[in-house]
């Protein structure tokens, strides 16, 4: 084969590796060099070193070990593995761009193997970037006709005012693909993005459910938000199924859209926390579907509460509204709501602990939290070891559940801060206290004040009891301005 000379022949099969196969044809050194040099230009254009056997009808390749003995082929192999610049072949002094045919250094795109000069790579970069945004492409397409591979890896070696903007665009596209999950399907980086069958818009990738349903990330996120609203309204832990899928898909959306995991994890954590809060009086429910329906309001609820009888159940909103109806009576009697929602039930719910769990559950029951806070304050005042029950008196203000302590001329409620005469109800309405005429306040610079009986300085009282101590150390009663009597 070749020159028919008598020089030593290289049998291709003997140069093949253990894992490679080659034909049994042979060639001498001069013919081998001539053969390699004749095919190197095409290999350089494809950016892949492949030398075919010259024997007609033989489609096998010459082993690389033998091809690399030619210096020009070895230079091309090194260029392919390193810098991405076309090397000179044989007697070449310079290269010609395959696109514009001008003499210039030729740069190769490793993604597709196509090559061009710097001018051809940068030609129309601003318009191409605009095209990428309009068509949801992930990268600038290769300038060779019909090639849709991205070429940012080549462009980043050049200088252009649009390269920084392009770098940001390509980086954001890669981040989106990572967030899309393994269910994302997309084309080559430089090709227009696929069209969503739901909204008809182009996107960088479509997310495919295992059932075959496909949509863009915006449609999937919209579906997740719809499902989240449904779950919140129906107190369900999570969604199942694809939107508008005719086959009735039962696949979980979490593998398709990983961002849904975070969204629904927060929702589930909130529901489970609320269930733990209501657990002592809650009726157990099935967590795989929507919440139970309240027999009172006929609305879906997180769970039904059962503070007494098995049949007497309702949602926490209905129990909160029922407590609101009893607030006036509870403040009058200074106790928690005691009556059950069912008229025939005689159970006492004051100490059931349910009212503290349903406070704030209904916007129509704003007074229940205030009643609970005031009654808690009253209990703490009643437990005072300095003032036993014998010196504790209830506040006379209507609707107040507070109390004050005897021991001074005036008594002050520690909840509403109402003050009244300590002897009221003891000396009788027609009895007057000695020297008990109250001294009126005067307004000084818009502030209600009185003068100290000792030093005559103005004093403002902004809270507390009537026992006043001036800066001059004089102690007196705010109401009468009489000296404060020790031991009262």
| Together in a domain, 424 and 460 | no
In a domain, 15, yes or no: yes
What share of the chain has pLDDT > 90, as a percent?
6
Give yes or no for residue 309 having a pLDDT over 90: no
| Residues 415 and 400 sit within 8 Å (Cβ to Cβ) | yes
**How far is the C-alpha of 469 from the C-alpha of 411, rounded, in Å?**
17
User: Of the ranges 126-140, 315-329, 454-468, which one carries the lowest mean pLDDT score?
Assistant: 454-468
Q: Is residue 255 part of a domain?
A: no
Residue 323 in domain: yes
Q: Quick check: 297 pLDDT over 50?
A: yes
Model confidence over 169-221: pLDDT tens digits? 988 888 887 776 667 778 888 889 888 888 888 888 888 777 777 888 888 88
Query: Span 453-475, mean pLDDT?
Result: 84
Q: How far, in Å, CA of 397 to CA of 332, rounded?
A: 10
Do residues 337 and 291 both lie within one domain? yes
What is the DSSP secondary structure assignment for residue 435, as one 8-state letter?
T
3-state class (DSSP) for residue 384: coil
**303 pLDDT higher than 70:** yes
| 376 and 288 in a common domain | yes
pLDDT digits (tens, 9 = 90+) for 359-415: 877 787 788 899 999 999 999 999 988 888 888 899 989 889 999 998 777 889 999
pLDDT of 401 reads: 92
Residues 6+ apart with CB under 8 A from 282: 275, 303, 304, 305, 306
Comparing CA positions, the residue from 185, 177, 108, 98 lying closest to residue 145 is 98
Query: Which residues, in sequence order, are CB contacts of 331 under 8 Å at separation 6+?
Result: 371, 399, 400, 401
pLDDT grade, residue 358 (50/70/90)? Answer: confident
Q: Are 373 and 320 contained in the same domain?
A: yes
Which pLDDT does position 127 carry in this prediction?
A: 92
- Confidence band for 15, pLDDT divided at 50, 70 and 90: confident
* Cα 342 from Cα 89, distance rounded (Å): 98
How high is the pLDDT of residue 488? 45
pLDDT of residue 373: 92
Residue 222 domain-assigned?
A: no
Asked if 421 and 372 sit in the same domain, the reply is no
- Cβ(144)–Cβ(116) under 8 Å? yes
What was the pLDDT predicted at 439? 60
Residue 136: domain span: 120-208
Burial 262-285 (b: 16+ CB within 10 A, else e): ebbeebeeebeebbeebeebbeeb
Distance CA 63, CA 10 (A): 11
% of the chain with per-residue pLDDT over 70? 86
Q: What is the pLDDT of residue 427?
A: 38
Backbone angles phi, psi at 50, to 5 degrees: -140, 120
pLDDT digits (tens, 9 = 90+) for 51-85: 888 888 888 888 888 888 888 888 888 877 776 77
How many structural domains are present in the chain? 5
Task: Assign 487 a pLDDT band (cuts: 50, 70, 90).
Answer: very low
Structural domain includes residue 58: yes
Contact 44, 73 (CB under 8 A): no
User: Same structural domain for residues 378 and 407?
Assistant: no
Q: Are residues 426 and 467 in the same domain?
A: no
How many beta carbons lie within 10 A of that of residue 314, not counting itself? Answer: 23
Same domain, residue pair 293 and 341? yes
Last-in-domain residue among 178, 208, 238: 208
Q: How far apart are CA 292 and CA 278, in angstroms?
A: 14
327 and 403 inside one domain: no
Convert the pLDDT of each residue in 420-460 to its tens digit. Answer: 887 654 433 333 434 445 566 666 555 677 888 888 787 88
Each residue of 126-145: pLDDT tens digit? 999 999 999 988 898 989 88
The more confident residue out of 435 and 149 is 149
DSSP letter at 284? P
Regarding pTM above 0.75, the answer is no
The dihedral built from the CA positions of residue 379, 382, 383 and 384, taken in this order, carries a sign that is positive
Residue 239 lies in a domain: no
Residue 412 and residue 465 in one domain:
no
155, 187, 208 — which closes off a domain? 208
Sign of torsion over alpha carbons 244, 248, 249, 252? positive
Question: How confident is the model at residue 69, as a pLDDT?
Answer: 84
Q: Please check whether residues 392 and 357 belong to one and the same domain.
A: no
The mean pLDDT value of the chain amounts to 81
Q: First CA to last CA across the chain, in angstroms?
A: 131
409 part of a folded domain: yes
Among 162, 190, 208, identify where a domain stops. 208
Residue 296 lies in a domain: yes
- In this structure, are 318 and 335 located in the same domain? yes
């Amino acid at each position: 084969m070749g020159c028919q000379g008598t020089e030593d022949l290289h049998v291709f099969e003997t140069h093949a590796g253990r894992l490679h196969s080659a034909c049994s044809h042979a060639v001498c050194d001069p013919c081998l060099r001539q053969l390699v040099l004749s095919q190197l230009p095409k290999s350089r254009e494809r950016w892949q070193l492949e030398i075919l056997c010259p024997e007609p009808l033989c489609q096998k390749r010459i082993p690389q070990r033998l091809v690399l003995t030619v210096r020009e082929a070895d230079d091309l192999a090194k260029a392919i593995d390193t810098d991405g610049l076309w090397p000179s072949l044989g007697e070449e002094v310079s290269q010609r761009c395959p696109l514009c045919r001008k003499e210039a250094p030729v740069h190769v795109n490793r993604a597709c193997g196509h090559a061009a000069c710097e001018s051809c790579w940068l030609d129309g970069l601003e318009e191409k970037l605009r095209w990428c945004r309009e068509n949801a492409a992930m990268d600038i397409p290769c300038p060779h006709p019909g090639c849709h591979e991205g070429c940012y890896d080549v462009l980043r070696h050049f200088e252009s005012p649009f390269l920084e903007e392009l770098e940001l665009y390509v980086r954001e596209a890669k981040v989106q693909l990572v967030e899309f999950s393994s269910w994302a399907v997309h084309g080559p980086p430089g090709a227009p993005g696929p069209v969503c069958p739901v909204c008809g818009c182009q996107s960088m990738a479509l997310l495919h459910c295992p059932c075959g349903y496909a949509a863009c990330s915006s449609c999937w996120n919209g579906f997740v938000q719809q499902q989240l609203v449904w779950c919140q309204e129906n107190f369900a832990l999570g969604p199942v199924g694809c939107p508008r899928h005719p086959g009735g898909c039962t696949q979980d959306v979490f593998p398709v859209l990983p961002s849904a995991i975070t969204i629904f994890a927060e929702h589930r954590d909130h529901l489970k926390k609320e269930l733990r809060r209501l657990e002592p009086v809650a009726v157990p429910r099935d967590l795989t579907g929507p919440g139970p329906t309240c027999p009172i309001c006929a609305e879906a609820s997180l769970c039904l509460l059962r503070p007494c009888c098995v049949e007497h159940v309702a949602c926490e909103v209905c129990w909160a509204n029922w407590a609101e109806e009893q607030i006036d009576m509870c403040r009058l009697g200074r106790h928690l709501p005691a009556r059950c929602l069912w008229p025939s039930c005689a159970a006492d719910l004051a100490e059931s602990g349910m009212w503290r769990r349903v406070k704030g559950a209904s916007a129509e029951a704003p007074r229940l939290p205030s009643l609970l806070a005031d009654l808690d304050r009253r209990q703490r005042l009643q437990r005072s070891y300095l003032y036993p029950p014998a010196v504790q008196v209830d506040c006379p203000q209507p609707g107040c559940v507070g109390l004050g302590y005897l021991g001074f001329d005036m008594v002050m409620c520690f909840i509403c801060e109402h003050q009244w005469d300590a002897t009221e109800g003891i000396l009788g309405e027609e009895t007057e206290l000695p020297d008990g005429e109250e001294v009126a306040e005067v307004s000084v610079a818009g502030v209600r004040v009185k003068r100290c009986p000792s030093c005559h300085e103005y004093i403002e009282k902004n809270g507390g009891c009537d026992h006043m101590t001036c800066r001059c150390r004089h102690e007196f009663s705010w109401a009468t301005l009489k000296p404060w009597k020790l031991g009262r």
